[in-house]
Amino acid sequence: MYRFSVEFLSKCHVSCGEAWSSRFARWTFTKKSLFSQESYKRSLCEKCTCLNGGNTMDEIVRQEPKIVRAIFHHTEISRDHMTPEIQLFLLTPNCPLYHVPFQTISEEDQMERNVFHEPFWSIYWPGGQALARFLLDEGKGLVSTSRNVLDVGAGCGAVAIAAKLTGAMKVVANDINEVACIAISMNAALNRVHVEVSRENLLYETPVKSVDVIFIGDMLYDEEISSALIPWLEKARQNGTRIYLSDPGRHGLTEDLKKRLKILKRYSLPESIRKENHGYDTCLVYEFCT
Ligand SMILES: C[S@@+](CC[C@H](N)C(=O)[O-])C[C@H]1O[C@@H](n2cnc3c(N)ncnc32)[C@H](O)[C@@H]1O
């Protein structure tokens, strides 16, 4: 059985395993019905009446029908993670595509190939899970007084959603991946919160002084990203921005970096997350101090 790992994902395989498991039966809809049934679409849109960037789920569907359709079709709405309060469209072992090597997706299915070419947004990473858990349990003091909160490398957007649920006024979820930005909007709408979405590469810009808090979930997986991220965070810290970061111990979490981090919380990871993440068994939440 494949294990999800960053290396694995970066090769753009989507992994193997069994077909539909009984876990999926818990959901009130079936995969086939997801997009084919008008009633399901209607009920989802009615359920997600919140505004996200001025959009209801219905409007997100109208603006990006093909990408939304591919996300609906190939993911499931899951609460099977460390923050079951938050529902997310995720590519899980219950989804057939999870078991299909990327290369075998037919060239004719161009939309699937584009949407799942870099499927980081379709996974809820341990760093994001621990950070969102921390926010939901202990984050009131961190964000309730904050006007502007920024989740960089937001992926599925769970940390941004957790910040919003915890009481942050304005939350921006930033990710350079176009599909991630759409998935974030869909997930925010699903959870009836308003999260703004930005696709700029902020790491190559001067950090904005008005941001009160920055969250970073599982961004230390890539050397190039880490080497742009850390100096950028230093500048943001000099502006007085508070920075919270979570990581299971990826190679970007160097000894040098650890010296600048204050441990706030240590989470033991559930077995399913360990399996998908090279056996990492804990994930720490830190404050970036210097
Ligand atoms: C490993 S995923 C983590 C996602 C999410 N934070 C979580 O923990 O579930 C990293 C994410 O960072 C995004 N990313 C990579 N470089 C970025 C950059 N320079 N600015 C913003 N996002 C970036 C990727 O597109 C991807 O969605």
Say how many C-beta atoms besides its own lie within 10 A of residue 225's C-beta. Answer: 15
Tokens coding 112: 């699937």
Q: Dump pLDDT digits (tens) for 37-56.
A: 444 444 444 444 444 555 56
The end-to-end CA distance of the chain, in Å, is 42
> Hey, what are 120's tokens?
């980081």
Supply the residue whose CA is at minimum distance from atom 8 of ligand 1: 128
CA 5 vs CA 54, 82, 94, 275: distances in Å: 35, 18, 18, 9
* pLDDT of 240 above 70: yes
Residues whose CB is less than 8 angstroms from the CB of residue 65 and which lie 6 or more positions away in sequence, other chains included: none
Range 154-166 burial, b when 16+ CB lie within 10 A, else e = bbbbbbbbbbbbb
Provide mean pLDDT across the span 99-119: 79
Substitution site in 12, 82, 86, 177 for ligand 1 pocket (most atoms within 8 Å of beta carbon) = 177
pLDDT value at residue 278: 82
pLDDT confidence tier of residue 88, bands split at 50, 70 and 90: very high
Chain segment 183-197, per-residue pLDDT in tens: 999 999 999 999 999
Please state which of the ranges 16-20, 62-66, 102-106, 216-220 shows the lowest mean pLDDT.
16-20
Q: What element of type H or E holds 246?
A: strand 242-247
- What's the whole-number mean pLDDT along residues 90-102? 88
Q: How far is the CA of 50 from the centre of ligand 1 (A)?
A: 25
Q: Looking at ligand 1, which atom is closest to the CA of residue 225?
A: 16
Contact 82, 133 (CB under 8 A): yes
Residue 245's alpha-carbon distances to 126, 167, 239, 284, 286, in angstroms, are 12, 19, 17, 8, 5
Instruction: Please report the atom of ligand 1 found closest to the CA of residue 174.
Output: 21
Cβ of 225 below 6 Å from ligand 1: yes
Q: What is the predicted pLDDT for the residue at 97?
A: 87
